[in-house]
Chain A
Amino acid sequence: MADTVFLALSVLTIGSAIAALEIRSLIYGSIALMVTLSAVAGFFLLADAPFVAMFQISVYVGSIAVLILFTVMLVRRELIFSKIEDPRRRYAGVGLMIIVMVGLGIIIIDSGIKTITTDSPPVDFKKIGEDFLTYYSPALVVMALILASAVIGALVLARREDVTTGQRTD
């Protein structure tokens, strides 16, 4: 059975996830998304993965959420507060959510996952660092290249085409 911290974290996660999608202002929505991501980092701590939790906080809460916040502030004011959706799509979305939740829940509960328990100690995070530098080092290099290409691609995409070169004198 789950303990109190787990229950509080799950209420925080689910509530702020719903708030991120349903709150009227996009700025408050992105702050609610930040809360969701931090609560998921708390789940990582509860699952004895402190390294992943710190990585989640530094990457998601530290960079992605701030990036989203800045992008939200770039768009026009009335778009931040506008809420455009069709009621029919809304019913369809709620129906899809209930179908996914009930279907996957039935499958998971029937699958015998409840009997899985463990007495073994958690994985040491030094092992993860060793793995990164030995077995996964090619993947680490490829990931660095992907990140660099994503940043360059984002810069190229967001560059303004209408500013002609030669206007800047510096």
Chain B
Amino acid sequence: MLPLVNELIDFVIVSIALLAIGIYGLATKRNAIRMLFAIEMIVNAANLNLVAFARFIPNSQGQTLTLFSIAIAAAEVAVGLALIIVAYRMYKNIDIADFRSLKG
């Protein structure tokens, strides 16, 4: 096994950058599939943080939690894509500004 040369702060900075890009995508985009991309990026930033902290505080629980998180994200994407397909079938569009039949 190679010696660990990267520090915790490097992982955390990459994670912050990924989180910020994800928030930018969620705030800016109106395409539903692109918003799903942004959500995936935020989830991955959280996972990266968990694994990095679990390495530097030697502990296996961080990796276990990451495995659960990845599985839950898979379920979330499946349901989210099904919702997008239903909305596309109803409105013939994937622009979220068109999904307004629940608007009062």
Q: Give bound CA distance, A154 to B84, whole Å.
A: 10
The distance in angstroms between the C-alpha atoms of A60 and B77, with both chains bound, is 10
* CB-based contact B85/A71 at 8 Å: yes
* Residues from 61 to 93 in A contacting B, C-beta threshold 8 Å: 63-64, 67-68, 71-72, 74-76, 79, 82-85, 89-90, 92-93
- Given the complex, which residues of A lie within 8 Å of B31, measured CB to CB? 26, 82-84
In the complex, the chain A residue whose C-beta lies closest to that of B43 is A60
Whether, in the assembled complex, A123 has its beta carbon less than 8 Å from a beta carbon of chain B, the answer is yes
Task: Evaluate contact between B6 and A123: CB separation under 8 angstroms.
Answer: no
Does A71 contact B81, Cβ atoms closer than 8 Å?
A: yes
Mask, A33-49, CB within 8 Å of B = 1, is: 10011001001101111
Asked if B27 contacts A96 (CB within 8 A), the reply is: yes
> Is A49 a contact of B55 with CB atoms below 8 Å?
yes
Q: Which residue of A lies closest to B80 (CB)?
A: A154
Contact A68 B67, beta carbon cutoff 8 Å = no
Q: Tell me, rounded to whole Å, the shortest Cβ–Cβ distance linking A106 to chain B.
A: 11
Within 8 Å CB of B94, what residues of A? 75, 79
B27 touches A93 (CB 8 A): yes
What CA separation (Å) do A123 and B63 show in the bound complex?
Answer: 9
Q: State whether A118 touches B83 (Cβ < 8 A).
A: no
Q: Considering the chains assembled together, what is the distance between the CA atoms of A6 and B37 in angstroms?
A: 23
Q: Who on chain A is nearest to B95 by CB? A: A84
- Choose from B18, B23, B88 the contact partner of A14 (Cβ within 8 Å): B18
Least distance between B43 CB and chain A CB atoms (Å) = 9
Q: Are B81 and A67 in contact (CB under 8 A)?
A: yes
Q: Which residue of B lies closest to A154 (CB)?
A: B82
A105 close to chain B: CB less than 8 A: yes
Q: A52 to B66, Cβ gap below 8 A?
A: yes
- How far in angstroms is the closest Cβ of chain A from B44? 5
A30 to chain B, nearest CB (A): 7
Question: Given A64-B77, A93-B27, A116-B8 in contact, is the A29-B13 Cβ separation under 8 Å?
Answer: no
**B7 touches which one: A2, A63, A94 (CB < 8 A)?**
A2
Q: How far is the CA of A71 from the CA of B32 in the complex (A)?
A: 11
When the two chains form their complex, are residues B34 and A146 in contact, meaning their CB atoms are under 8 A apart? Answer: no
**A127 in the interface (beta carbon within 8 A):** yes
Confirm or deny: A157 has a beta carbon within 8 angstroms of a beta carbon on chain B. yes
16 intermolecular pairs with C-beta atoms under 8 Å apart: A6-B5, A10-B17, A30-B33, A33-B41, A36-B44, A47-B54, A52-B70, A68-B33, A71-B85, A79-B94, A97-B27, A98-B20, A101-B16, A104-B20, A118-B4, A118-B58
